[in-house]
A and B are shown apart, each in its own frame.
Chain A
Amino acid sequence: MNITFLFLAVIAAIVAWWLAQQRLTAKPWLDAGLVGDTGASPLPAAKIGLGVFLAVVGCLFTLLISAYSMRMEMGEWRPAPVPKLLWLNTGMLILSSGALQWAQVAARRGRMDRVRAGLLAGGVFALAFLAGQLVAWRQLDAAGYYLTANPAAAFFYLITGVHGLHILGGQVALGRTMDKAWQGVAVGKVRLSVELCATYWHFVLFVWLVLFALLLLTDPIVADNGWFL
């Protein structure tokens, strides 16, 4: 549960930072009158909403990692070797995230053609990542680490599966953004959507990097060779 507490501590720090700006020591019974600043953020509500949503998703993955590490310490733990293919998949996801970052920059500069190219590339690379994950699953399955083989394998499928579903969900949002971008609306109308997609993609990339690092660190071959202290 240490990891969960670490995550909650980060959330608590953000909340504390926000609360500190809300003048919690104000004495509202004394100061009637007009207040110009209500303490609302200048960011659009959609961005705040995405931020809150990512905190929830982050909590979900943190709990999965917590469960993984708690289970790991309980013995009878035979983790699967990490398929080499995951390195390639990781590259795909980095490219996908990079493409959306590029689209976001283009949207800010008003270049619709580049926005479209970036969105398309981001979507294709993300699909490539998902396809690669499926292949990795089949490789593991063929190597005898099928779902019910042991808890370590089950965790691998569960965590990568949940992560994949989040990318799949992101594809829906991306598809809607692309739909808008291809309808020929002004760049200003899609900018927010592109920014939201890019943020989400960076987040799922970050989650993946953490998960991948976790899998590598607990990989039996890596562990035997003593890559980490």
Chain B
Amino acid sequence: MVDIGAAEGIPPAEVEDVELYHAKSWVTKYVFCQDAKVIAIQYSITAISIGLVALVLSWLIRLQLAFPGTFSIVTPSNYYQFVTMHGMIMVIYLLTALFLGGFGNYLIPLMVGARDMVFPYVNMLSYWVYLLAVVVLVASFFAPGGPTGAGWTLYPPQAILEGTPGRQWGIILMLVSLILFIIGFTMGGLNYVVTVLQGRTRGMTMMRLPLTVWGIFTATILALLAFPALFVASVMMLFDRVLGTSFFMPAIVAAGEHLKYGGGSPILFQHLFWFFGHPEVYIVALPAFGIVSDLISVHSRKNIFGYRMMVWALVAIAVLSFIVWGHHMYISGMNPPFGFFFATSTLIIAVPTAIKVYNWVLTLWRGDIHLTVPMLFALGFIVTFVNGGITGLFLGNVIVDVPLSATMFVVAHFHMVMGIAPILVVFGGIYHWYPKITGRMLNERLGQIHFWITFLGAYLIYFPMHYLGFIGVPRRYYELGETAFVPASAATLNVAITAAALIVGAAQTVFFFNVIWSLYKGKLAGGNPWRAASLEWQTPETPPGHGNWGKELPVVYRWAYDYSVPGAGQDFLPQNQPPAIPAR
């Protein structure tokens, strides 16, 4: 165990002890709580709950595509509303909130050796504003006219014109909800960034941080700089809709009548939206990269290959992600030199991403691979991310994107890269850290069943979609009808995809059963069941108590990846274990 003797002669920690917030009642302990760990759970439960709504919406979408017109609840209007809400919820309210609000809140203070976030009160507000945003979003389902059906990109002018479903209240509530979300996120984001900057314990340099923290940290900086673009776009569109301004609305003749709008630019909205929209991909991907790096290292008992390169790649991806947004707008009538620029920057961003993939693979190489459930999900992520990334290289080129842009190929691409891949990491992360959060292990067998159905099922859903895209099956269509170019077998394929989607969705009950059952009946985990080196596994209590670290903050002596160190007594060295005293 830790040799305390070696720590002799070390001056007392310079890290100032913060005045801790103490819960006085049940309400301040579990409801209006300022402890980042509780906030993390609140964020996660809210995000996953709203994510389940989006999952059900995807079933309804799939049922319509497989059996057009069979289900009376999926009218054309409803179909567009379901597509819109499914996309918006999954991207923003589930993935962004879960990675940053959920994983970020739980892991940052523990991994950097802090007692809590630096601004706990603001952190608590962040969650409640987020919850409010979700409530406003859900309210739009019950508003007259239903939620907006403008597509998740909310392109004007159609988003706020007569004829688009949810034009009455849906779009207003959607925009208000986004504005609230961004305000709430900014509050949380300030915490994540400043805690990493200023809350690190003694000895924890930036280059000793686990990559999970690096991933969440860079993603948060991206989000803080990218979300204002969505904020501006939302406020301006809200003005257009409610107050009748014309920021995005050109002069329009509808049904032979001049509308009151005039002089606005719909393209301006696209620029603002995608200036947020592309970094958003990496806001979700970077935390996933970080978490996967840690899972792979721990479960193959090997240090992460190329740690420095991994950090640099994260930073490089973050920087590059701000100059590629135009590749979402190739079909907007873009100036060809711009298209060339954006295609080039898009291909360049593949370089640091590929470096990360190589490093994961090289970490695995000759490692002592344990196929635990978190490891399965991490491996599933690498495969899926490479898959989705390669179709991204296709679509990044203008000449390939133009014919494919409006087809199912794009749906398949971004679900692979931004839907399935991050969700696999979310599951991997939950299986990995659940023992720390609850003190009990999740059931291994149920986890394996969950993994294989989810992983293989996801491929059954999205692989065929690429082919549908190639033969020209359009996305966004309520019903395909009779066409000259789509063979009848496409309909059969759609039925198969829907069957897979229903099964994969239903299989998630295995996961939820596991989470709840293990809470009471799971095998006791102990403090460090994976024998991991990073700091969150070294807490004196499991689950970590209020203030995380007992009386004294830990002191860090090494990086987070000392696995299988030659000559060491055990196959991992915790970050807070002092170096051995040289033999005299």
A residues near B (Cβ < 8 Å) are 1, 4, 8, 11-12, 15, 19, 22-29, 32-41, 45-46, 48-49, 52-53, 55-56, 59-60, 63-64, 67, 70-71, 74, 76-77, 147-148, 150-151, 154-155, 158, 162
Contacts and interface: CB of A to CB of B under 8 A. Distances in A.
Interface stretch (B356-364, B407-415, B553-561): B553-561
B205 A35 contact: yes
A39 B268 contact: no
Interface string B106-142: 0000000000001100000000000000000000000
Contacts of A48: 194, 197-198
Interface in B186-223: 186, 189-190, 193-194, 197-208, 221
Contacts of A77: 263
A38 B202 contact: yes
A147 B245 contact: yes
B307 interface: yes
A13 B559 CA distance: 27
A131 to B, nearest CB: 22
A14 B177 CA distance: 32
A40 B209 CA distance: 13
A151 B202 contact: no
B358 to A, nearest CB: 18
B207 A60 contact: no
A52 B263 contact: no
Contacts of A158: 235-236, 239, 245, 247
A148 B561 contact: no
Contacts of A45: 118-119, 194, 197-199
A38 B200 contact: yes
A3 B221 CA distance: 19
A32 B558 contact: yes
Contacts of B303: 29
A24 B316 CA distance: 13
A1 B301 CA distance: 47
Contacts of B387: none
A29 B579 CA distance: 12
Contact of B198 (A33, A35, A40): A40
B558 A34 contact: no
B523 interface: no
Contacts of A155: 247
Interface stretch (B22-30, B147-155, B225-233, B435-443): B225-233
B228 A8 contact: no
A63 B272 contact: yes
B559 A29 contact: yes
Nearest to A58: B228
Closest 10 CB pairs of A and B: A28-B559, A154-B245, A32-B558, A60-B228, A22-B206, A45-B118, A76-B263, A45-B198, A148-B244, A59-B228
A36 B308 CA distance: 21
Contact of A150 (B189, B206, B224, B246): B246
A151 B245 contact: yes
Contact of A148 (B118, B199, B243, B573): B243
B207 A24 contact: yes
B203 A56 contact: no
A29 B561 contact: yes
B97 interface: no
A29 B10 CA distance: 22
A16 B268 CA distance: 30
A145 to B, nearest CB: 12
B557 A32 contact: yes
B311 interface: yes
Given A40-B200, A48-B197, A49-B119, A60 B232 contact: yes
Contact of B225 (A26, A28, A29, A56): A56
A120 to B, nearest CB: 26
Contact of A71 (B203, B225, B265, B578): B265
Given A15-B221, A150-B263, A63 B245 contact: no
Contacts of A162: 235
